[in-house]
Amino acid sequence: MINAGAFRRRLLNWYDGNKRDLPWRESTDFYRVWISEIMLQQTRVEAVIPYFHRFLRRFPSLEALAGAPEADVLTAWSGLGYYSRARNLHKAAKTVVAAGLPASYDEIRALPGIGPYTAAAIASIVFGEAHAAVDGNVVRVVSRLTNGSGEASKEAARLLDTRRPGDFNQAMMELGATVCGPRTPRCEDCPVLALCAGRAAGRERELPVKTAKPAARDVSLDLLILMKKNAVFLIRRDLSEKRLAGFYELPELKHFPEIKTEPAGSFRHRIVNDRFLVRIWRAAARGKSASKGYWLTAEQLTEIPLTTIARKALHSVHNLSGGAALDY
């Protein structure tokens, strides 16, 4: 069994001297911590940082977020993916403004879109409550420390430093993200190497043992960028759809068989187990070739929620806005 006291000292000493300078660590304000934890769900830190800054500029307070139309929130979130996070964030903001700030793990857990991990992270960082936050990084660290024996959540709770629970949880996540990586752990830089049973057994690259994932599916997608003067044609997903409801996207080429097109590039994009090969086609509108949709300028594109695939496609095409690639 790992010596909990020695582990805490080594981990927190390392964290104090090596933690990354991240914008949400500038304070323990509930709003900032909450926004960051929701954004960081299944998303890399590097990808979150610019969104975090832009989101707070657009919605600098809980009241601003709660009072905004959902479309504005989705627009600010556009490109981060997993859009149910944004919708739940908006709902939770309304709840908090109406009922007051949560003051405990249980009250945070009751908010829309908050699971055990996120509630533990926020409660420990903001309120100093002793709840172990166990995400994929922490599971990997604990699994290697124990050489795969025992249950990761229970061991994380046993190791938790109750005097500095917020720092401890962030240190565990930091260790998993920067040193104890999934494919190439940098064991020589690990502050708790001497306590790691997985490394001693030579199994650090095998752990944690993963269950088989469903096979990936290859999907071909041909999208049309239809232009009229300085506007592009987009369609909007129905509000009743389960995925990306209300988001704007480019139409598929197959719906415009009569239009003469030219190839405009291609790219790959992955959504969970779907691997998309996206081919982009371009054409100029003639007459009433597109009626059930919206003609939007580059400036208007900044004000609507766009699917990530549409955003990538539009960024790759020039001459939509003064001869330069779109920047929004």
Question: Where in the sequence numbering do the catalytic residues fall?
Answer: 37
The C-alpha atoms of residue 191 and residue 189 are separated, in whole angstroms, by 6
Please answer whether residues 105 and 120 qualify as being in contact, where contact means their C-beta atoms are separated by less than 8 angstroms: yes
| Distance separating alpha carbons of residues 114 and 29, to the nearest angstrom | 17
DSSP 132-158: ----HHHHHHHHHHTTT-S-HHHHHHH
For 198, other C-beta atoms within 10 Å of its C-beta total: 25
Q: Name the region of 245 (left: φ>0; alpha: ψ -120 to 50; beta: rest).
A: beta
Buried b (16+ CB within 10 A) or exposed e, 276-307: bebbbbbbebeeeebeebebbebeebeebbbb
The phi, psi pair for 153, rounded to 5°, reads -65, -40
Q: Among candidates 5, 4, 56, which has minimal Cα distance to 31? A: 56
Residue 80, CA distances (Å) to 193, 267, 283 in order: 35, 18, 29
Assign 3-state DSSP to the chain and report helix, strand, coil percentages, each to 5.
45, 15, 40
Q: What are the φ and ψ backbone dihedral angles of 279, each rounded to 5 degrees?
A: -105, 135
CA distance 198 to 250: 49
* Contact between residue 172 and residue 138 where contact means Cβ atoms under 8 Å apart: yes
